[in-house]
Chains A and B, each alone.
Chain A
Amino acid sequence: MGIRELELTDLPQTSDPPVGLLASIVNRLTWPFRYGHVEPRPSTGFYTDTTVCIGCKSCEVACKQWNQLAADGLEWTGNSYDNTAELSATSWRHVKFIEQFAANGQSAGHDTTATHELTIDQLVNGGGAGRWLMMSDVCKHCISAPCQHACPTGAIIYNEFANVYIQRDICNGCSYCIAACPFGVITRSDFDGHSHKCTLCYDRQKDGLVPACAKACPTASIQFGPIDELRERARNRVKELHARGVTGAYLYGEEPTESYSALHSFYLLVDRPAVYGLPDAPFNPWLHMLADYGRTIASALATIAVILSLLFLQRL
């Protein structure tokens, strides 16, 4: 039955009746008024518990399958099992692998970096004094998203679930969102020239379905739901881990900081953020925009004052 669902030819097909140029223009101009107001729905998001991720990459595959994203080509990066390498216009999920093993039997402190070497012995004997960290990375759906602030076309919006969504028919590929995102998420496609990233399966959510990655994750490392419920669940999980001796467990992005809003896709981590390729202290560049304009205006006015003085001082 699951297969039959995909056979579109079996489904009743409908298409828009042909319209002329004038009707099409009138339609485009009046559509925003006829569309009406979209009622906000409860905010949703992802909570990713990295301690239970097994690196199976089901989320990557499910995301590609549901969103019909092309393969990126296979490149052996030499970085553990990570051959996806980065989030891209066609990879909206990226499972990261961090091997923390001491070289030649030394003990690997868990707060150390992932720069240790792994011997075959340690690998065969279960890793010895080390550990694996795995994390499924995705757009953070920032509550105050720099990409959304940056977008000059209004293509990037917050949808009714308070998720950050790129309207693909509007984006013109200016790339400012790419420069703005502190997490290196958005990418411009070489194929269509537009920016792309995780939609938090907006289409599935509208139909009451769970995003494809969360649905596919076999260990519930990726959890989806109303953001308040997720936060509650995540805090309890941290308490549980602390009680079990994993004292390094903490939540990343669950609460706002002085320099960044909370994230609608937040993480439970056990090492410092940079180890996972996340900024230790994300900063919203819009916090200093007004002051930067102030300095620009001051500098321009000072220069103009110098110009005027010199022009008036010269008796030519």
Chain B
Amino acid sequence: MQDDNQARAIEPGYLTQDVTKVPGWHGLVAWDLLFNNLTTGLFLFAAVGELARPGLLGPVARLAYPVALVLLLTDLVMLVADLGDPLRFHHMLRVFKPSSPMSLGTWSLTIYSLPLTLIVAIEAAQFIGWLPSESQALEWMRWSAVVFCLLPAFGSLAYKGVLFSTSSQPGWKDARWLGGWMASSALTLGCAELLAISILTGHPRAAAALRTVAAVLVVLNLIPTGLVFLELRPTLSRIYRDQQVYLALAFILVGGTLVPVVLLLAGDGAPWRLGAVLLIVLGGFAVRLLLLKIPHASHESRTGARALESVRRAVPG
């Protein structure tokens, strides 16, 4: 029985709670983030590569577009499935509201999907012989579609990070470089994907060029990663113990950067390079999952702290 002379434990009001509500964005959205960046990164890298060095990257780029389309469709399925009412997905297209990153993103993804489908349709029809493979007009149409697709693909890539940073959630709201990091990371992922495609389809010249580019991009990506980390630092320190933060940092530096770079530059043979690509993609997913979890973790850490405080008060000493 409680001693009446003992100060009674009460909850400490609202001071220790997160004011904001956590949106119900869970693991599915981390996959959406990854697939969005995989498709847009791959398309942009392939298109820029094809336009800049058609002789070197043109043949691989042609193989990359169908992959980008499959990744896009996977991403769209996740976007729709994550809605509270998936059957109302098309309501996203009843207004165009550039002030909302989500509206801009939905429109960008929709427009991006159209020329990309056209590119893949032309290639598929040529492959199965329904269309002539040497037609100037078709090549011009395909080329126009690639060029037209650049802008919506860029929009589809750019909106994601800004959507998260333009919010009131702990951590995300402070991450001014989140969009910048995501853009750089998506292009790195795109390069890694194209490298994997060139290795798997037997394009050694393209693979040799892409391996150096991938290694440089992985290292350069540390700059926006560092900037985002500095912005998130206060929130991460509040949520996690120092050891946890350092462990995550070491994981990003070693697992997602150092090992892939060593494998890319020193590894001799396809398995090493494919291993590097896998690590880059897995590392990218892990960072996106961590970012996505920040508001959830913040909320849980506050709740945990409150529960501990209650126990401490209820059981003095």
A residues in contact (CB < 8 Å) with B:
77-80, 86, 96, 98-99, 103-104, 113-115, 117-121, 146, 149-155, 170-176, 178-189, 192-195, 274-279, 283, 285-286, 288-289, 291-293, 295-300, 302-304, 306-308, 310-312, 314, 316
Contacts and interface: CB of A to CB of B under 8 A. Distances in A.
A147 B38 CA distance: 29
Interface string B79-91: 0000111101101
Given A296-B179, A298-B180, A311-B209, A178 B88 contact: no
Given A115-B12, A173-B85, A292-B162, 12 more contacts: A114-B14, A152-B97, A178-B22, A188-B23, A188-B84, A195-B84, A289-B162, A296-B161, A296-B179, A300-B158, A303-B187, A311-B49
Contacts of B133: none
Contact of A303 (B4, B161, B183): B183
Contacts of B94: 153-154, 170
A146 B4 CA distance: 48
20 contacts: A114-B15, A115-B13, A119-B6, A171-B88, A171-B91, A181-B168, A184-B18, A274-B15, A275-B15, A279-B19, A285-B167, A295-B176, A296-B180, A296-B183, A300-B180, A300-B183, A308-B52, A310-B212, A311-B52, A316-B208
B20 A184 contact: yes
Contact of A193 (B11, B45, B85, B95): B85
The 7 closest A-B pairs by CB, nearest first: A173-B84, A193-B84, A277-B14, A296-B179, A114-B13, A299-B180, A172-B88
Contacts of A312: 52-53
A182 B20 contact: yes
A148 to B, nearest CB: 9
A311 B295 CA distance: 40
A185 B213 CA distance: 47
B12 A114 contact: yes
Contacts of B179: 292-293, 295-296, 299
A152 B100 contact: yes
Contacts of A79: 10-11, 13
Contact of B25 (A175, A185, A298, A314): A175
Contact of B14 (A276, A293, A295): A276
A118 B8 contact: yes
Contacts of A172: 83-86, 88-89, 91-92
B99 interface: yes
Given A118-B10, A304-B187, A113 B15 contact: yes
Interface string B171-211: 01100111111111001100100000000000001001100
Interface stretch (B112-120, B216-224, B245-253, B257-265): B216-224
B78 interface: no
A314 B207 CA distance: 12
Main secondary structure of the interface of B (DSSP, over half): helix
Contacts of B15: 113-115, 274-275, 277
Contacts of A175: 23-25, 84
Interface string B143-168: 00000000000100110011111111
A187 B20 CA distance: 10
Contacts of B99: 149, 286, 289
Contacts of A291: 176
B210 to A, nearest CB: 9
Contacts of B220: 303, 306
A194 B9 contact: no
A99 B166 contact: no
B88 to A, nearest CB: 4
A87 B289 CA distance: 28
A187 B21 contact: yes
Contacts of B181: 299
Nearest to A272: B15
Contacts of B168: 146, 179-182, 283, 285
Contacts of A146: 168
A34 to B, nearest CB: 17
A285 B165 CA distance: 8
